[in-house]
Amino acid sequence: FVFVHPKDGKRFISEDPLDYWFADYTGLEVFYVSKTDSRTKNNYQLWTDLLAAGKRLWATAGYDGHGVASTNTLTTIYADSKTATGYLNYAKIGDFSTGGIGIRMAVGDTRMGSSTDFAGQRIVFSVADFHSSLDLTHTYRVKLIAGDETVFEAQLDPTMPFYYAQAADENAPFYRVEVVDETTEILTAIGNPIWNTDIQ
pLDDT of residue 157: 95
Is the per-residue pLDDT at 17 higher than 80?
yes
Report the pLDDT averaged over residues 22-27. 95
pLDDT of residue 1: 84
Please tell me whether residue 87 adopts helix, strand or coil conformation: helix
Please tell me whether residue 101 adopts helix, strand or coil conformation: coil
pLDDT, the chain, mean: 93
User: Which residues, in sequence order, are bridge partners of residue 57?
Assistant: 26
Q: Helices (H) and strands (E) in the chain — how many of each? A: 2, 15
pLDDT of residue 109: 96
Query: Do the beta carbons of residue 75 and residue 94 sit within 8 Å?
Result: no
Side by side, the strands of the sheet bearing 110-111 are: 110-111, 102-107, 122-128, 162-167
Report the pLDDT averaged over residues 136-147. 97
Q: 193 Cβ partners below 8 Å, 6+ apart?
A: 51, 56, 58, 112, 113, 174, 175, 176
Query: Do the beta carbons of residue 190 and residue 97 sit within 8 Å?
Result: yes
pLDDT of residue 198: 83
Is the per-residue pLDDT at 26 higher than 80?
yes
pLDDT band at 5 (very low <50, low <70, confident <90, very high): confident
pLDDT band at 66 (very low <50, low <70, confident <90, very high): low
Q: 60 Cβ partners below 8 Å, 6+ apart?
A: 2, 27, 28, 29, 30, 31, 75, 98
Distance, in Å, from the CA atom of 125 to the CA atom of 25, rounded to the nearest integer, reads 20
pTM: 0.94
Please tell me whether residue 4 adopts helix, strand or coil conformation: coil
pLDDT band at 65 (very low <50, low <70, confident <90, very high): low
- Work out whether strand 57-62 and strand 26-32 pair parallel, antiparallel, or are unpaired: parallel
pLDDT band at 8 (very low <50, low <70, confident <90, very high): confident
Is the per-residue pLDDT at 53 higher than 90?
yes
Phi first, then psi, for residue 40 (nearest 5°) are -60, -45
Q: Give the rounded distance of the alpha carbon of 93 from its chain centre.
A: 13
Report the pLDDT averaged over residues 183-187. 95
pLDDT band at 88 (very low <50, low <70, confident <90, very high): very high
Report the pLDDT averaged over residues 75-102. 93
